[in-house]
Amino acid sequence: MDENELQIQQQIAWLETASPDDWHRAVLDFNWDWDIGPLFWIARQPQCDKATALTMFWLGQPAYYLILAAENGGTDDRREPVWDMLKFIAQRINANGYIRSKIAYAVDDLVEQDFDELVEKADQLANSPLKPHPDMRRALRGRRIVNDVDFYRRYPEDFHGTVLIELPDPSPLDKAWSALGRLWRH
């Protein structure tokens, strides 16, 4: 076993002990230049949150792979791990297979554009390897999950895909203004 395979196994071993919320945080932190084995592991878990799956799906740039399939005469002969994971997530979304939905997911203009492009490319293929589903562009209510200092204390440093910048703790006045701002929006 080479060093890369060992690191993937170690990261999956950590994920096995983590919560679905921490899986989401790991996805937010993930460096897509790495082997996506840990992401695909998350996507396959029964407790994978729908927001986590959607985050992985759109970060994986599915329209790009459909464009390649369209340029290849509609054949799906690409054997790339990211593409395999994206097809898996799409199939599971189409089958309503992501039951857990406790994490918020916001749909922005880029997701809207990517979804429209995905539909357009899928319609160009007689047998699209990836079927767009309206749930891929729907916002989800739930808890807003962010990567905070507490997560990075739990998450082994070898797995960090981003650089943690420690911000000073907010003052009591900052906390009060933040709470007042949250109340004002509701």
Task: Tell me what pLDDT residue 118 has.
Answer: 93
Residues 6+ positions from 177 with CB-CB distance below 8 Å:
none
- Give pLDDT, residue 157: 84
pLDDT tens digits for range 47-101: 999 999 999 999 999 998 888 888 877 666 667 899 999 999 999 999 999 999 9
Q: Which of these, 143, 120, 141, lies nearest to 130 by C-alpha position? A: 120
pLDDT > 90? residue 177? no
More confident residue, 39 or 4: 39
Name the region of 144 (left: φ>0; alpha: ψ -120 to 50; beta: rest): beta
pLDDT tens digits for range 39-56:
999 999 999 999 999 999
Note whether 121 and 74 are within 8 A (CB).
no
- pLDDT over 60 at 165, yes or no: no
pLDDT digits (tens, 9 = 90+) for 124-143: 888 888 999 999 999 999 99
> Of how many residues is the chain composed?
186
Tokens 């996805």, residue located: 27
Residue 70 corresponds to which tokens in the numbers above? Answer: 């369209």
Q: Tell me the per-residue pLDDT of 101-113, one tens digit each, with 9 for 90 and over.
A: 999 999 999 999 9
Compute the distance between CA of residue 131 and CA of residue 182 in angstroms, rounded to an integer.
Answer: 38
Report the SS3 class of residue 171: coil
For the chain, what percent of residues have pLDDT higher than 90?
57
Q: Which residues contact 43 (CB under 8 A, 6 or more apart)?
A: 53, 56, 85, 88, 89, 92
pTM equals 0.83
- CB contact at 8 A, 133 and 93: yes
Closest CA to 88 of 30, 139, 28, 42: 42
Whether 12 contacts 20, CB under 8 Å: no
